[in-house]
C-alpha cells in the first residue's frame, strides 16, 4: 500500500544533505520511503494532509535509560548541592544490599512509559543505554507491540557504586559479576537482534568508563566487533569520573579509551563533556577532540540534562569544527528531542559567546543523520527513496506557534515535543493527532506514575541518611500533599 503525505514542508535528503520543499510530498510503501521532495504524480492508495506541518525524518535519540525517567533520574539531576554526588552518582549509589530491584510489573510499566514518552516527543529510534534489568522476553514483546525502533542490551560493569553509612561514595569491584553481565548482554544480542520485525537491534553498553575495568572494556569492545554491533559507554560525564580515570591511567577518559582500542566508528560516547576542550578539566595536554575525530566515534550530546547541572559541552561548535560526529540524546526527563534541538543551539551560542554557533542546520543534522554513523545505518535519519519510513509530522501553523519563513528554524526556535502530531515508524502510524494509536496512553502514564510514587516512598530505606524525596529535592514551595490510600 502506497501512502502519500502531501502539502507540508518536506525535509528531503538529496544524498548529501537535507533540503526543504514547501508543499512537498513523501510517499512510503510498506516500511520504506519511495519518494521524498516535490509533488508526486503517481498513483497512491492513501493520502495524508500535512498542511501547516513539518514532514521530518524521525529523530534518533542516542541516550535513553529505560529506568522510568519520571523516577530516579529526574531526582538525580536535581541533586546539585554537592557535585560529587550529582549526576548518576546520587541515585545509583545506595547503601550496599539495601536497594531491591522493582517487581516485574513495575519494570514493564516504566519501560512502556519511557518508550511511549520518547516516541510522542519525536524519537523514532531509541538507543537504550541501560535500564532496569530482567524479563527480556517482555522487553522484546513491548518493542514489538509499541512499534518503536530500539537498539539495546543490558549494561555491564564490574565496579558497583555505593555510599557508606556516612554518605561517602565508593566503588565495589566484582569482576565475576561484570563478566556475567557482559555474557548476559551478548546473549541478549544473539537472542533478540533483528526481532520485532527488525526494529529491535542489538548493541553493547559498557555502563560507565570508570565503572568498568580496562579488561572488561576491552572484552566488551571485542564482543561488539565479533557481533558486528555498536557499543556505548558514558565517558567525560562528570569531573569525579574524569579525575578517577586520570588517577588510574594517567590519561583523560577519551585518550584512555582511544589507547585501548575502544574508540572507532561503531562507538558512541555518552556526553564526553569533560575532555581537554573543557576548561574545568584544567588539563592542557593532548587533544581529545582530535582523538574523537580521527577514530570516527560519535558523541551523544544531551544538552538539557547538562544545562540543569550548570554544565555544558565546550562546545557543540568546537566539536563540530574539529570533525567530531555529534548526535543528540535526552538522557533524563523529559525525553523531548524537539526541545533538545533548541537547547543544543542556544547552549552552543552562549558557551562560545557567538550567535553564529549552533546553527539550526547543524543541530537538526545532529538529531537525524548524526546518529546514523555509529549505528552503521544509511536508511535512518533521512527521507529519501529506500530509507526507512520513520517520519514525523510536526505542527507549526497554529496560534501558539511562531510566524516563520524557515520551518527548520521555527522548529528549533519555538517548537516542542508536544507539537508532534504524527509519528510513523517502519511505515506504521504509532501517533496520530498527538495520541498513541496502539496503547491507552493515559493508562500507561497512570501506571508509571503509580510505580514511581511507590519507588519514591522507598527511597529512605536505601538512602544513607534515610532522607525522603522531599528532603533530598526540596519542592519549589511547601506542598500540602493529600493523604494517600
| Number of neighbours of residue 239 by Cβ within 10 angstroms | 19
Separation CA 180–CA 429 (nearest Å) = 39
Please identify, using beta-carbon distances, which residue of 6 and 331 lies nearer to Zn ion: 331
Q: Is the peptide bond before 314 cis (omega within 30 degrees of 0)?
A: no
| Number of neighbours of residue 308 by Cβ within 10 angstroms | 15
Least Å distance, CB 175 to Zn ion, is: 23
Please identify, using beta-carbon distances, which residue of 147 and 237 lies nearer to Zn ion: 237
Size of the site for Zn ion (CB under 5 A): 1
Least Å distance, CB 3 to Zn ion, is: 36
Least Å distance, CB 65 to Zn ion, is: 6
Residues 366, 369, 373, 377: is their CA dihedral positive or negative? positive
- Residue nearest Zn ion, Cβ-based: 331
Which of 335, 359, 373 lies closest to 411, judged by CA?
359
Residues with Cβ within 8 Å of residue 465, at least 6 apart in sequence: 167
Please identify, using beta-carbon distances, which residue of 18 and 234 lies nearer to Zn ion: 234
C-alpha 387 chain-centroid distance: 21
Please identify, using beta-carbon distances, which residue of 67 and 422 lies nearer to Zn ion: 67
Binding flags for Zn ion, 137-176, as an x/- string (CB under 5 A): ----------------------------------------
Least Å distance, CB 151 to Zn ion, is: 14
Which of 312, 303, 327, 307 lies closest to 127, judged by CA?
327
Please identify, using beta-carbon distances, which residue of 210 and 331 lies nearer to Zn ion: 331
Binding flags for Zn ion, 330-359, as an x/- string (CB under 5 A): -x----------------------------
Least Å distance, CB 271 to Zn ion, is: 8
Binding flags for Zn ion, 313-332, as an x/- string (CB under 5 A): ------------------x-
Cα separation values, 350 from 281, 316, 336, Å:
19, 11, 21
Query: What SS3 class is residue 184?
Result: helix
Least Å distance, CB 88 to Zn ion, is: 7
Separation CA 61–CA 79 (nearest Å) = 24
Please identify, using beta-carbon distances, which residue of 234 and 318 lies nearer to Zn ion: 234
* Binding footprint of Zn ion on the chain (CB under 5 A): 331
Amino acid at each position: 500500500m502506497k501512502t502519500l503525505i502531501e502539502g507540508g514542508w518536506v525535509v528531503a535528503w538529496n544524498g548529501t544533505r537535507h533540503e526543504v520543499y514547501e508543499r512537498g510530498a513523501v510517499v512510503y510503501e510498506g516500511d520504506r520511503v519511495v519518494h521524498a521532495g516535490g509533488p508526486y504524480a503517481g498513483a497512491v492508495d492513501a493520502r495524508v494532509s500535512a498542511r501547516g506541518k513539518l514532514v521530518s525524518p524521525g529523530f534518533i535519540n542516542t541516550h535513553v535509560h529505560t529506568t522510568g525517567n519520571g523516577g530516579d533520574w529526574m531526582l538525580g539531576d536535581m541533586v546539585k548541592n554537592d557535585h560529587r554526588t550529582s549526576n548518576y552518582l546520587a541515585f545509583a549509589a545506595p547503601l550496599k544490599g539495601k536497594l531491591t530491584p522493582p517487581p516485574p510489573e513495575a519494570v514493564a510499566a516504566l519501560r512502556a512509559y519511557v518508550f511511549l514518552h520518547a516516541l510522542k516527543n519525536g524519537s523514532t529510534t531509541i538507543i537504550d543505554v541501560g535500564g532496569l534489568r530482567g524479563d527480556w522476553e517482555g522487553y522484546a514483546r513491548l518493542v514489538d507491540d509499541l512499534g518503536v525502533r530500539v537498539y539495546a542490551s543490558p549494561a555491564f560493569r564490574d565496579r558497583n557504586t555505593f555510599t557508606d553509612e556516612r554518605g561517602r561514595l565508593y566503588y565495589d569491584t566484582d569482576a565475576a559479576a561484570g563478566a556475567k553481565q557482559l555474557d548476559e548482554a551478548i546473549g541478549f544480542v544473539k537472542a533478540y537482534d533483528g526481532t520485532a520485525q527488525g526494529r529491535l537491534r542489538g548493541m553493547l553498553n559498557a555502563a560507565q568508563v570508570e565503572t568498568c575495568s580496562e579488561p572488561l572494556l576491552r572484552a566488551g569492545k571485542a564482543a561488539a566487533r565479533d557481533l558486528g554491533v555498536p557499543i556505548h559507554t558514558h565517558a567525560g560525564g562528570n569531573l569525579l569520573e574524569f579525575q578517577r580515570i586520570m588517577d588510574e591511567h594517567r590519561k583523560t577518559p577519551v585518550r584512555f579509551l582511544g589507547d585501548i582500542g575502544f574508540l572507532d566508528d561503531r562507538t558512541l560516547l555518552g556526553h564526553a563533556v569533560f575532555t581537554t576542550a573543557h576548561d574545568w578539566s584544567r588539563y592542557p595536554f593532548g587533544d581529545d577532540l582530535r582523538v574523537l575525530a580521527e577514530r570516527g566515534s560519535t558523541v551523544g550530546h544531551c544538552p538539557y540534562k547538562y544545562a540543569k547541572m550548570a554544565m555544558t559541552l565546550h562546545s557543540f561548535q568546537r566539536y563540530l569544527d574539529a570533525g567530531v560526529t555529534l548526535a543528540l540524546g535526552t538522557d533524563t526527563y523529559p525525553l523531548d528531542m524537539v526541545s533538545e534541538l533548541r537547547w543544543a543551539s542556544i547552549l552552543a551560542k552562549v558557551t562560545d559567546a557567538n550567535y553564529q554557533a549552533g546553527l539550526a542546520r547543524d543541530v537538526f543534522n545532529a538529531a537525524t543523520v548524526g546518529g546514523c554513523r555509529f549505528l552503521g545505518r544509511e536508511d535512518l535519519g533521512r527521507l529519501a527513496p529506500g530509507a526507512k519510513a520513520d517520519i514525523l509530522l510536526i505542527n507549526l501553523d497554529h496560534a501558539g506557534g511562531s510566524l516563520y519563513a524557515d520551518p527548520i528554524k521555527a522548529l528549533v526556535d519555538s517548537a516542542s515535543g508536544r507539537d508532534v502530531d504524527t509519528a510513523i515508524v517502519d511505515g506504521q502510524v504509532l501517533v496520530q493527532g498527538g495520541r498513541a494509536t496502539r496503547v491507552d496512553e493515559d493508562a500507561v502514564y497512570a501506571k508509571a506514575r503509580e510505580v514511581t510514587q511507590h519507588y519514591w516512598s522507598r527511597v529512605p530505606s536505601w538512602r544513607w541518611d534515610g532522607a525522603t524525596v522531599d528532603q533530598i529535592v526540596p519542592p519549589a514551595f511547601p506542598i500540602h500533599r493529600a493523604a494517600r490510600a
